[in-house]
Amino acid sequence: MKLFKWDFLKIIRDWKVRILLVSLFLFLASYSAFYQDRSIVLPLEELRSEYEDTQQIFHAIPQNHFDSAAGQEVYDKLARQQSIIGMQRYILGEQEGNTVSGLENVVSDYVDQGLELAENRLFFYEADDFESQELLLSFMPAKAEIENDLKFLTYLKEHNVDIDWNPMSPSLVLFNLVNIVAGIFIFVIAAIFGADRFSRDQEFNWSISQGIPYSWAHQWRQRTFISWGLIWLIVLAGICVSYILSTLFTDSGTLNYPVPLYSGEETVYISIMQYVILALLLTMALSYIIVKLSTGLSWVFRNIYLTITIVTAVFYLPYVFALTGPAASWNPFLYLQIIPVLEGSWESLKNVTVTKLIISIAVLYIIVEIVFHFIFKLIPTRTGKLERRRN
């Protein structure tokens, strides 16, 4: 415990570490304020565009194609689609939730209308008897997108959650911030924090153990844990402060709001709270391995910039292994990127799942441990007399 305290104080008293920790906290804590300055397209504007597209359909399709029985059914559903989109625009414009107080019987419910709209659009994909089906579908979203809309709206209905009219609501800002942290951001932070852990010891021949037997491997694990703990103490604090600050800008949104999660064969919807917990736990586990790698490389190379470059480059390895096709789904290095797994960006590789991600993290941890077990044994340290640190 005494050696752990000595190591902790040695790291925390480093002025570079303090600057990095403060900078990291300020960036994360102020993210919500920067996010408010983004140019976004409001859902209300998207509905306005869909309404105009529906009007164009009636002008694009020859009128006589609506004369048949199939054409008449398509016409009725298109007219209903235009009516639904108009009412949804009004509901979103009022910003009261899924309906408008006092007008429930007039504008109905946003989610119920959305479900009907999605089912009508799926009907168009089955309307093979309609002469202008191909032209009609050119105005429609992709079938997979419509099916995802159905899942999204079903989740809202089952969990009694209101549609969020504001893309900058605190919950959605939190969702975006977590995705940023779980990307290359955490690789860079982990690389920077670990890159200097051993360089000065070997440069000045310090003996951290102060004469007590203390293996390099033990020092490696201890310094990794300290650096990792400091990173996540600040990251979690910064995320919490950012979320609290974002609630000062707007009071809309809920942590129960659904977001997509790729489950290996299809997309499912879970709450933002569930997604944040899952993404952060996976990122914490993966970042521990990255800090461990960075700390170990600082012992091997004793060059901060080379270590940071190598560790950051590791982030892009999945793109190389993705080229190998479906076999890559069993390659643990593919899972060095968490967000593509959660979003389904590797969907073409088949069966890229969260379960495999968890297994891969465990495999990567074992690989790093084995590699550095031999490195610490086979690579000699700098020769020269070890000295006690005098300050």
The per-residue pLDDT for range 96-126, each reduced to its tens digit, is 788 887 777 777 888 999 999 999 999 999 9
pLDDT at 367 (0 to 100): 94
Q: What is the pTM of this model?
A: 0.86
Q: Pick from 60-69, 177-186, 372-381 the range whose average pLDDT is largest.
A: 177-186
Residue 206 pLDDT greater than 70, yes or no: no
- What percent of the chain has a predicted confidence (pLDDT) above 70? 89
Q: What is the pLDDT of residues 145-175, one digit of tens each?
A: 999 999 999 999 999 988 887 778 888 889 9
Helices (H) and strands (E) in the chain, counts: 18, 2
Residue 131 pLDDT greater than 90, yes or no: no
Q: 120-125: long-range contacts (C-beta < 8 A, 24 or more apart)?
A: 120/77, 120/80, 120/81, 121/81, 121/146, 122/146, 122/147, 122/150, 123/77, 124/74, 124/77
Mean pLDDT of 313-321: 86
Q: What is the pLDDT of residues 61-97, one digit of tens each?
A: 888 888 888 889 999 999 998 888 888 888 888 877 8
Q: What is the pLDDT of residues 248-274, one digit of tens each?
A: 877 667 889 999 998 877 889 999 999
Candidates 376, 365, 220; CA nearest to 289 is: 365
How far is it, in rounded angstroms, from Cα 319 to Cα 336? 10
Residue 180 pLDDT greater than 90, yes or no: yes
pLDDT at 385 (0 to 100): 43
Candidates 335, 121, 153; CA nearest to 260 is: 153
How far is it, in rounded angstroms, from Cα 3 to Cα 6? 5
* Residue tagged 């859902």 (tokens): 43
CB atoms within 10 A of CB 236: 14
pLDDT at 389 (0 to 100): 42
**H or E stretch including 269?**
strand 267-271
The domains of the chain are located at 2-38+167-378, 43-158
How far is it, in rounded angstroms, from Cα 389 to Cα 379? 24
Q: What is the mean pLDDT of the chain?
A: 84
* Residue tagged 């790729």 (tokens): 262
Question: Burial of 310 by CB count in 10 Å (0-12 exposed, 13-18 middle, 19+ buried)?
Answer: middle
Kindly indicate the confidence band of residue 202, based on its pLDDT and cuts at 50, 70 and 90: low
pLDDT at 86 (0 to 100): 87
Residue 279 pLDDT greater than 70, yes or no: yes
How far is it, in rounded angstroms, from Cα 233 to Cα 17? 13
Contact 74, 136 (CB under 8 A): yes
pLDDT at 210 (0 to 100): 46
What is the DSSP track for 204-249? HTB-TTTTS---HHHHHHHHHHHHHHHHHHHHHHHHHHHHHHHHHH
Mean pLDDT of 233-258: 87
Q: What is the pLDDT of residues 28-57, one digit of tens each?
A: 998 887 776 666 667 777 888 888 888 888
pLDDT at 383 (0 to 100): 42
Contact 239, 173 (CB under 8 A): no
Round to the nearest angstrom and report the end-to-end CA distance of the chain.
20
SS3 content of the chain, % helix, strand, coil (to 5): 70, 5, 25
268 has which bridge partners?
261
